[in-house]
Amino acid sequence: MLITPHTNKLNRIVILNPKGGCGKTTLATNLASYYSLEGPMPTVMDCDPQASTMNWLDRRDASRPPIHGIAAYKKTMQATRSWQLRVPNETTNLIVDSPASLNHDDLREFTRDATSILVPVLPSAIDIHAASRCIADLLLVAKIDRRENRLAVVANRTRRNTKSFEKLMRFLDALGIPIIAVLRDSQNYVRAAEQGIGIVEMQPHKVRKDREELEKIITWLDTLPMDRRELLNPSPAAPPSNVTLLHKPQFNAG
């Protein structure tokens, strides 16, 4: 079970696409980096056994703004499972890097209490096909309502003025789901990942275009209507404590 602070201010951001290599970790780490600079301390939960997000966090220098990491893929004998999955009370932004190959039950569990769901998509025929299946499952299996405006697509590793980019944008435009940012195929993301930082922690003049697209994502995430956040995270009349329990999905490491 995932233990989170009981607050309607908690933004549960789930980054999801069963297709591996689509850029989930790039999104997760850069969002975590941004929110760490803004404060309070965000939490990033790595549910993927490849542990890319936790490896990024291990490379992060201690002098950087703090980010709380949860290795949700890891079983531990040194602490209770509930303690391992505890989100600090100060966290207002929880970023979940989901695993690949989710089954339908996992998909429902990951998205059930998500305030925002981001689907990164690459400009290739294989990735477009995988994304179409993923979004269909989100709408039909997980029952995500388009009208709630909590599902968005991020085009990733794109090169404008290419046929693959044009094909991707036509596909995304046909979905009826907002395309909130178009991330470039840029070495800035690679350099940031190697240092355990996000692009917002790099020299501004080197990352201006990349930062502009990231800020579009942040704007979409942070302008979520509070009434819907309250609906997703209702406050009890007489809360017995300052935490609430949510189901933690089970998934295979293979």
Give the domain CATH number at 207: 3.40.50.300
Question: pLDDT tens across 124-161, in order?
Answer: 888 888 888 888 899 999 999 888 889 999 988 887 77
Domain membership flag for residue 203: yes
Domain membership flag for residue 233: no
Judge residue 227's burial from the number of C-beta atoms within 10 Å of its C-beta, 0-12 exposed, 13-18 middle, 19 or more buried: exposed
Which residue segment(s) compose the domain that 62 sits in?
11-217
Question: pLDDT tens across 70-124, in order?
Answer: 998 876 645 445 555 788 889 999 999 998 888 889 899 889 889 999 999 888 8
Q: Which of 132, 79, 127, 70 is nearest to 97 (CA)?
A: 70
Inter-axis angle of helices 52-59 and 24-38, to 10 degrees? 40
How many other CB atoms sit within 10 Å of the CB of residue 190? Answer: 9
Residues 91 and 85: their CA atoms lie apart, in Å, by 13
Q: Torsion over CA of 68, 70, 76 and 80, rounded to 10 degrees? A: 70
How many domains in the chain? 1
Question: pLDDT tens across 180-224, in order?
Answer: 998 999 999 999 999 999 999 999 999 999 999 999 999 999 886
Query: How confident is residue 229, by pLDDT bands cut at 50, 70 and 90?
Result: low
Domain membership flag for residue 166: yes
Question: pLDDT tens across 27-53, in order?
Answer: 999 999 999 999 999 999 999 999 999
Domain membership flag for residue 5: no
Domain membership flag for residue 248: no
Domain membership flag for residue 180: yes
Domain membership flag for residue 163: yes
Inter-axis angle of helices 24-38 and 208-222, to 10 degrees? 80
Domain membership flag for residue 243: no
